[in-house]
C-alpha cells in the first residue's frame, strides 16, 4: 500500500483582507487547512501564477455602470467575494486527499487546476465565477476544489512553468471558440508575444489553422518559434498591406 505524507492542521496562506493596496495582503502561517467536501479534492499547491485580475480585484478597480471610478469587484452582480479571501487562480500541485465520491486512486496525481466555477449546466460563460474570488484559490499551501477541475498533467515542464498557462490559454481558447476558427483558416493575432496572444498562436496551430502575428520590435523570432506563419512588427506603415 502506498503511504502519503500526513496533512497538517494549519498552513501558510496570503489573506486578502479588503480592497486597497498591497497592505491588504496579509501573510499568515496559522490558516486552517481546508477539508475537501464530497466530490472535491485537496491539492497541495506547488506553484500558483499571479494575474492582473488578482490585482484589480484587490484594488476594487472594476467600477460600476454608473461610476467607472467606484470600488467594485470582478463579479458586479451577485458578488461572491468575501474577506478574508485567498486569491490565486493558476494553481498546479499534487492531490493530497479526496472527499466522498472521489476515488482515493487520485491521491498523488500531479494536476493543473481549471479555476472556473461553472454555475450553469450549459456552455454559457455568462454566469461563471473563479477560484480566488468566489472561493479560496492557490495563494496557500493547500486548496480544495471540485475533482473535475483538477486535470492530470504529464510533462517535463516545471510546475512554475505550468502555472503560467491556465488563465491566458483558457481566455485564448474561448476567443477561438467564439470565432469558430477551423483548420486551414488564417487568423491574425495582435499582441502575439503576450500570454493570451502566444497561447492563441499555439492553439490555432493545434486546430490546423494558420496564425499570423503582430508583435513588438525584437520579439519576432520568439513568436515564429512557437508557430506563427509570419510576424508583422507593430508600428509598421501600411498594416493592411503587411497582413495580406
**Model confidence pLDDT, tens digit, residues 39-54:** 999 999 999 999 888 9
Q: 10-157 and 166-242 share one CATH topology? A: no
The residue extents of the domains of the chain are: 10-157, 166-242
pLDDT band at 123 (very low <50, low <70, confident <90, very high): low
DSSP state of 162: H
Give the CATH class of 10-157.
alpha beta
Q: What angle do CA 12, 13, 17 make, to 5 degrees?
A: 140
Q: Computed from CA positions of residues 140, 144, 149, 150, in that sequence, does the dihedral angle turn out positive or negative?
A: positive
Which band of pLDDT confidence, cut at 50, 70 and 90, is reported for residue 118? Answer: confident
- pLDDT at 160 (0 to 100): 96
**CATH number attached to the domain at 166-242:** 3.40.50.720
| pLDDT, tens only, 141-192 | 999 999 999 999 999 999 999 999 888 998 999 999 999 999 999 999 999 9
pLDDT at residue 4 in the model: 76
| Tens-digit pLDDT profile for residues 58-106 | 999 988 888 888 888 887 666 889 999 999 999 999 999 999 999 999 9
Residues 6+ apart with CB under 8 A from 235: 217
pTM, rounded to two decimals: 0.87
Amino acid at each position: 500500500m502506498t503511504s502519503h505524507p500526513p496533512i497538517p492542521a494549519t498552513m501558510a496562506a496570503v489573506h486578502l483582507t479588503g480592497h486597497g493596496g498591497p497592505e491588504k495582503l496579509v501573510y499568515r502561517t496559522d490558516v486552517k487547512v481546508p477539508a475537501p467536501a464530497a466530490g472535491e479534492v485537496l491539492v497541495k499547491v506547488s506553484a500558483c501564477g499571479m494575474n492582473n485580475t488578482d490585482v484589480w480585484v484587490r484594488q476594487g478597480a472594476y467600477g460600476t455602470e454608473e461610476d467607472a471610478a467606484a470600488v467594485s469587484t470582478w463579479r458586479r452582480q451577485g458578488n461572491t467575494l468575501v474577506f478574508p479571501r485567498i486569491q490565486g487562480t493558476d494553481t498546479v500541485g499534487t492531490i493530497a486527499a479526496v472527499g466522498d465520491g472521489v476515488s482515493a486512486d487520485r491521491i498523488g496525481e500531479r494536476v493543473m487546476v481549471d479555476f472556473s466555477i461553472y454555475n450553469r449546466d450549459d456552455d454559457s460563460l455568462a454566469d461563471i465565477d473563479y477560484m480566488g474570488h468566489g472561493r479560496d484559490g492557490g495563494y496557500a499551501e493547500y486548496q480544495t476544489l471540485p475533482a473535475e477541475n483538477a486535470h492530470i498533467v504529464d510533462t517535463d515542464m516545471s510546475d512554475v512553468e505550468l502555472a503560467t498557462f491556465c488563465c491566458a490559454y483558457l481566455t485564448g481558447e474561448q476567443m477561438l471558440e467564439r470565432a469558430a476558427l477551423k483548420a486551414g483558416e488564417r487568423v491574425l493575432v495582435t499582441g502575439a508575444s503576450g500570454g493570451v496572444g502566444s497561447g492563441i498562436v499555439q492553439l490555432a496551430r493545434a486546430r490546423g489553422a494558420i496564425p499570423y502575428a503582430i508583435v513588438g520590435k525584437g520579439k519576432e523570432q520568439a513568436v515564429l518559434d512557437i508557430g506563427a506563419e509570419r510576424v508583422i512588427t507593430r508600428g509598421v506603415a501600411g498594416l493592411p498591406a503587411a497582413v495580406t
